[in-house]
Structure 1
Amino acid sequence: MNDKKNFSTISQLWVADKKQYVKKSTISAYILLAENHLLPVFGKQYQVNEDEVQAFVFLKLKQGLCKKTIMDMLIVLKMILKYGDKQNLTQYKAFDIRFPTEYKKEKLEILSRKDHKRVTNYVQENFTFKNLGIHLCLSTGIRIGEVCALKWEDIDTETGLIHINKTIQRIYVLENGIGKTELIIDSPKTKNSIREIPINRELLKMIKPVKKIVNESFFILTNEAKPTEPRTYRNYYKKFLRNLHIPYLKFHGLRHSFATRCIESNCDYKTVSVLLGHSNISTTLNLYVHPNTEQKKKVINQMFKSLN
């Protein structure tokens, strides 16, 4: 029988094993959660029980972290403990963790229709490669890592399609106990994120003449062989909004704005889900489909009409 190990040692062994099966960006996210949150609390322990995990959850909520982030931590915690149990390095017993009831639902932040149009009009009148990227995100719903990884060869002006097949992100890497960051180009978030998105006529008209004179292998945002990273582009985007005197909106808000406009235009939910690259339609429904009061009244009236 193997000697029992503390959580920190089991974590290192688990990372070495997990690296063989998951993407580099995925293991990076796991390591970051473990290093910043799990190890400071559980690192020296040989056993982790339910009460301690519940106390950990309350601690993280008190620190202002959202439920989704804490749930991600618990997933990593369980994977490490299950691995340790399988290797007979610790004992794992499933725990049932509860979160305080949430009554307030956060409102999705999007551009108003007026500001949406101001952005697209401004890019048309002030063309730069970086401005084009903002228009692309607002017109197709692609993520910041996806637009940073986009090359001219990924846009087919004949078919009017953008091919999304890669993303750029800066990840955390731990080598010989020393942490550092590394910029990588990898496949997108999930297999559903590999997709084709039609370009609207207005945007296609802007891109066509440019596409004829650029190097196909260059990245769109830089028009060079070297890409820009998401953090740098996010800073550019903030200045872009300030120059237009548009209230600050997170970059991901461009994606939310695109999806919301699609839903407002009565697009079918499945198509919107595919365009966004969501793993399943429930993600799209939960995020963007919220019937307003008029829609609710209409349904109630229709129901009673059917009884007559």
Structure 2
Amino acid sequence: MGNINLSKLQMIDIQEMADSLSEEGLKHKTVKYVCRTLHAALEYAVKNKMITENSCKDIEIAEDKEKFEVEIYNAEDLGLLLSLLKEQEHPLYIPVLLASMRGLRRGECLGLAWDDVDFKENVIYIRNNYVVVNGVGYHKKVKTKDSDRIASIDGFIANELKEHKERMNRKGQIQTYVCEVDGKLPDPSHLSRQLKAFQKANRLPQCRFHDLRHTFAVLQLENGTDLDTLKRLMGHSKIGVTSELYLHQNLTLIKKASVIIDNIIIMKNKKSHNNVTIASGEN
């Protein structure tokens, strides 16, 4: 912990660290993850008799001051966003396409190599994640074995990727990674800033880049994709994660479910009423 020797580490030191991270603007979930990781490391130290007790217990983590809200695009706005990006030959077009139409994470979009694209089978293999730490970019495997997945690109997506590759080749840019710009991958955070700037300039609803992935999931559910299939498409390790993220307070799905039960009861009542009327007429 900075300059604090492991044997001298106390709970107050960890509490001050957690408070400091919260004050710097880190989300409750992120600080909780940091503390959980530290707790596991100190448990290992206790097990190996490097320290006598784990100081990372009962740490209080500040709640987020503002409730986080995901911004979901509807199908019409998403179509407009993609059309404008393509018309302007904007470098955001391909990563936005992959995120919103196939549910890739930002790092997965940037980590997608042309070697991961199989135009014969019309699939992409989502294996790598591109991150930048302290100004240095590097590739690593996707975060879980469930994130290592295959996505179909039949039809429209395959055509867009082929066209993009051909356009880059005509410009003399031989790419290793699908989302390269001028021979290199953009910083992930720069991608997000570009998206917000584009949305603002074109008077579109503003959202985070990651919200495009959420948009993909919600549109899938609203158009009949079952939860287990969506889990696989999103690369979630547990179906509970998918359910918690996308079923909770989804107004469209709630209304659809309500209409279904209403229609069932109404149709049954109509059928019963008609049978009674027919029977009465016969008498």
**1:249 paired residue number:** 207
Q: Residue 257 of structure 1: CA displacement?
A: 0.8
Match of 2:5 in 1: 9
Larger Rg computed on CA atoms: 2
Q: Aligned match of 1:188 in 127, 142, 154?
A: 142
In the TM superposition, residue 119 of structure 1 has moved relative to its aligned partner by 1.2
- TM-score normalised over the length of structure 2: 0.74
**Cα distance in 1 between the residues matched to 2:107 and 2:63:** 34
Partner of 1:220: 178
- Within 5 Å, which residues of 2 pair with 1:1-308? 8-10=4-6, 46-49=8-11, 65-93=26-54, 95-96=57-58, 106-172=68-134, 181-199=135-153, 201-211=155-165, 214=169, 218-222=176-180, 225-290=183-248, 292=251, 293-294=254-255, 297=258
Of stretches 105-114 and 294-303 in structure 1, the one that deviates more from structure 2 is 294-303
Query: How far apart, CA to CA, are the structure 2 residues paired with 1:126 and 1:206?
Result: 15
Whole-angstrom CA distance in 2 between matches of 1:187 and 1:206: 26
Checking the alignment, whether the CA contact within 8 Å between 2:71 and 2:206 is kept in structure 1 is no
Whether the aligned pair in 1 keeps the contact of 2:82 and 2:93 (CA below 8 Å) is no
**Quick one: which amino acid aligns to residue 151 of structure 1?**
A
Q: Are 1:146 and 1:167, in contact at CA under 8 Å, matched by a contact in 2?
A: yes
SS at match of 2:124: strand
Cα distance change, pair 304–61 in 1 and its aligned pair in 2 (3 A)? farther
**In 2, are the aligned partners of 1:110 and 1:256 still within 8 Å (CA)?**
yes
* Post-superposition offset of 1:268: 1.0
Normalized against structure 1, the TM-score is what? 0.68
Q: 1:55 Cα shift?
A: 7.6
Does the aligned pair in 2 maintain the 1:166–1:187 contact within 8 Å?
Answer: yes
Deviations 1:74-101 (A, max 9, x none): 2133123223323433222583456789
CA contact (8 A) 1:148 1:229 kept: no
Counterpart of 1:255, as a letter, is R
Paired residue type of 1:247: P
Change (3 A) 1:140 1:82: same
Q: Distance in 2 between matches of 1:278 and 1:97?
A: 28
Which secondary structure does the structure 1 equivalent of 2:137 belong to? strand
Displacement after TM superposition at 1:238 (Å): 2.6
Mapped to 2, the partners of 1:99 and 1:294 lie a distance apart of 36
Question: How many Å apart are 1:155 and its aligned residue?
Answer: 2.1
Match of 1:14 in 2: none
Deviations 1:135-164 (A, max 9, x none): 222111111111112223322233221221
The answer for unaligned runs of 5 or more in structure 1 is 11-44, 173-180
Inter-partner Cα distance in structure 2 for 1:101 and 1:230:
27
Count of residue pairs the alignment pairs up: 258
Distance 1:299 1:98 in 2: 45
Give secondary structure in 2 for the equivalent of 1:191.
coil
**1:169 Cα deviation after fit:** 0.6
Superposed CA offset, 1:100-131 (max 9, x none):
899x9744222233321111222343334432
Which AA in structure 2 matches 1:205?
N
Letter of the 1:294 counterpart: K
Q: In 2, are the aligned partners of 1:170 and 1:182 still within 8 Å (CA)?
A: yes
Query: RMSD of the alignment, in Å?
Result: 3.7
Compared CA separation, residues 196 and 224, structure 1 to 2 (3 A):
farther
**Match of 1:119, as an amino acid?**
L
Per the alignment, in what secondary structure is the counterpart of residue 32 of structure 2? helix
Quote the sequence identity (%): 23
Q: Flag the 1:61–1:149 CA change in 2: closer, same or farther, 3 A.
A: closer
**1:36 matched to which residue of 2?**
none
Segments of 5+ residues of structure 2 without an aligned counterpart are 269-283
- Counterpart code for 2:138: I
Deviations 1:272-298 (A, max 9, x none): 111111121111111001354435646
